[in-house]
A and B are shown apart, each in its own frame.
Chain A
Amino acid sequence: MAGFTTRAIHNKYLKDDAHRSLHFPIYNSVAYEFETAEEIEKAFLGEIPSHLYSRITNPTVENFEQKIKNVTDSLAVVALSSGMAAISNLILSIAGSGDNIITTKFLFGNTYSLFEKTLKPWGLEAQYTDMTDLKKIEASINKNTRAIFLETITNPQLEVADIKAISKIAKEKGILTIADTTITPPYLFRSRDFGVDIEILSSTKYISGGATSVGGLIIDNGTFDWEKNENLKGEAKKYGPFSLIKKLKRESYRNLGACLSPNSAYLQSLGLETLAIRADRSCANALSIARYLESNKKIKDVNYPGLESSSSYAVAKAQFPKGAGGLLTFDLGSKEACFNFINRLRIIRRATNLNDNKSLILHPASTIFCEYAPQLREEMGVRETMIRLAVGIEDIEDLINDIEYGLEGIQ
């Protein structure tokens, strides 16, 4: 079988392009015309594979979905307007009022907010546990649990759970394993090999190819028996492994309207073609910087799962053999030192994103976690003294020089 990049570049179009265009065109059209009333009826019934309206399907978006399907060997892919749209559409499709999802407080800030502030008032609860403690995970599951939701590498705590062991528990209990793979997208992590049923991610990050566009993906590996999910068992008899896709396309995705724009789909299709090259470089840069920081006496603590000294090293190496992503954190002892360091940088940019081509730096406690009280931030593993660096693909010597210059201003 061809490799990841070959498959990403040479993905076959579902329908031949009229002009044999080598790049799949951007279809900036809302609606699609039919020859007859009979034909449009068949399209509405789903009996012919025709596009009708771009909130539901669009040829350029569909081509991007097919490319992702091709490189992940998944059953089906749905592309959405953002990573948060992917998470919310998925959770609203697989769980309802009275149900719960097992997860951890070590979550991306907006995902935690989705569970606590948006979904909780509607009766859908998140149960927080320690994802590195299999016994606690198992003990948290009850008859109303629909899924275990985890991040492959948590942001910004950079904790790595043993996904194969967790998915084994989920399978035994008849619940889904959902993994947010934003930090380790397809290429760095092959979710189906670790028992993940549904992969969701923000394609804004690594895939978009340099922070060009916002997007999200739901990747269904086709491994879950939907008869075991209370919300979908009615569909399972008629639609088998397509039950989630049917639910999304006929209900959640269609009704919530979080579709990806064709322009973004085009940019992200291009981004996918160079994902492996950029991810290799970003991971190599991150490891070099982590080693440099570890050897510097001004740094109190360096956290990168690819470092031999990391408590997550063994499990990260097994799960992400090509590299542990481009995200690392380090401790400078005080918020003031963190701010001084950030303000001195001349190449690394001060911005809230990650896996851009550019290296980006952030003080998580005062930015993405600023809405949470200090005690909750502590529980979420976000310290005032910690900096998050999302390593890009610049020349490593320039990045090290920039960090060195930044550290010169710290006592």
Chain B
Amino acid sequence: MKIKVNNEYQEFDGEITVSELLTKNNVEMPDMVSVQLNGEFVKRDNFSSTSLTDQDEINFLYFLGGGNF
């Protein structure tokens, strides 16, 4: 399964949730990150129950820790 993470494709063998993807990508300060899945905001409470599917596009964005948007 291929998932586009912050504009770069990553490959996974089996099912993966948003929470697991955050861990696998060693996302810094996970409490501070906003997650968008296919252009829509994912609620923090749903990170562990939201499974990703092939060709999904996911973005991790920071609004507090920096970033000159």
A residues contacting B by CB (< 8 A) are 14-15, 42-53, 56-57, 62, 65, 76, 236-240, 242, 245-246, 249-250, 254
Query: In the complex, how many angstroms separate the beta carbon of B22 from the nearest chain A beta carbon?
Result: 13
Please provide the 6 A-B residue pairs with the shortest distance between their CB atoms, ordered closest to farther.
A49-B65, A46-B67, A240-B41, A250-B69, A51-B66, A49-B62
A14/B67 in contact, CB under 8 A: no
Query: 27 A-B Cβ contacts within 8 A?
Result: A14-B29, A14-B65, A43-B67, A43-B68, A44-B68, A45-B61, A47-B59, A49-B62, A49-B65, A49-B66, A50-B66, A50-B67, A51-B65, A52-B66, A53-B68, A56-B66, A57-B67, A62-B64, A62-B65, A62-B66, A65-B64, A236-B41, A238-B40, A239-B41, A240-B34, A242-B34, A245-B64
Question: What is the chain B residue whose CB lies nearest that of A247?
Answer: B63
Query: In the complex, how many angstroms separate the beta carbon of A14 from the nearest chain B beta carbon?
Result: 6
Chain A residues contacting B65 (CB-CB under 8 Å) are 14, 49-51, 57, 62
Query: In the complex, how many angstroms separate the beta carbon of B52 from the nearest chain A beta carbon?
Result: 17
Chain B residues contacting A76 (CB-CB under 8 Å) are 63-64
- B36 lies within 8 A of chain A by Cβ: yes
A249/B69 in contact, CB under 8 A: yes
Given A242-B63, A249-B67, 17 extra CB contacts under 8 A: A42-B6, A46-B61, A46-B63, A46-B66, A46-B69, A47-B62, A47-B67, A48-B28, A49-B33, A49-B67, A51-B65, A65-B64, A237-B39, A237-B41, A239-B36, A245-B64, A249-B63
Number of B residues with CB within 8 Å of any CB on chain A: 22
Residues 16-33 of B, flagged 1 when their CB comes within 8 A of A and 0 if not, give 000000000000110011
A249 to B61, CA, bound (A): 12
B residues contacting A by CB (< 8 A) are 6, 28-29, 32-34, 36, 39-41, 43, 59-69
Chain A residues contacting B33 (CB-CB under 8 Å) are 49
A189 to B43, CA, bound (A): 28
Chain A residues contacting B29 (CB-CB under 8 Å) are 14-15, 49
Chain B residues contacting A236 (CB-CB under 8 Å) are 41
A44 to B7, CA, bound (A): 14
A48 to B68, CA, bound (A): 11
A238 to B36, CA, bound (A): 7
Question: What is the chain A residue whose CB lies nearest that of B29?
Answer: A49
Chain B residues contacting A42 (CB-CB under 8 Å) are 6
Query: In the complex, how many angstroms separate the beta carbon of A109 from the nearest chain B beta carbon?
Result: 32
Chain A residues contacting B64 (CB-CB under 8 Å) are 49, 57, 62, 65, 76, 245, 249
Q: Which of B41, B43, B62 contacts A46 (CB 8 A)?
A: B62
A52/B68 in contact, CB under 8 A: yes
Query: In the complex, how many angstroms separate the beta carbon of B65 from the nearest chain A beta carbon?
Result: 3
Query: In the complex, how many angstroms separate the beta carbon of A148 from the nearest chain B beta carbon?
Result: 25
A42 to B65, CA, bound (A): 13
A239 to B34, CA, bound (A): 7
Query: In the complex, how many angstroms separate the beta carbon of B57 from the nearest chain A beta carbon?
Result: 12
Chain A residues contacting B39 (CB-CB under 8 Å) are 237-238
Chain A residues contacting B28 (CB-CB under 8 Å) are 15, 48-49
A237/B68 in contact, CB under 8 A: no
A76 to B34, CA, bound (A): 12
Question: What is the chain B residue whose CB lies nearest that of A226?
Answer: B41
Chain B residues contacting A249 (CB-CB under 8 Å) are 63-64, 67, 69
Question: What is the chain B residue whose CB lies nearest that of A57?
Answer: B66
B32/A237 in contact, CB under 8 A: no
Chain B residues contacting A52 (CB-CB under 8 Å) are 66-68
A242 to B32, CA, bound (A): 10
Question: What is the chain B residue whose CB lies nearest that of A40?
Answer: B68
A47/B68 in contact, CB under 8 A: no
Supposing A46-B61, A49-B29 touch, asked if A238 and B41 sit within 8 A by C-beta, the answer is yes
Question: What is the chain B residue whose CB lies nearest that of A76?
Answer: B64
B6/A240 in contact, CB under 8 A: no
A56 to B62, CA, bound (A): 13
B66/A43 in contact, CB under 8 A: yes
Query: In the complex, how many angstroms separate the beta carbon of A71 from the nearest chain B beta carbon?
Result: 16
A123 to B66, CA, bound (A): 33
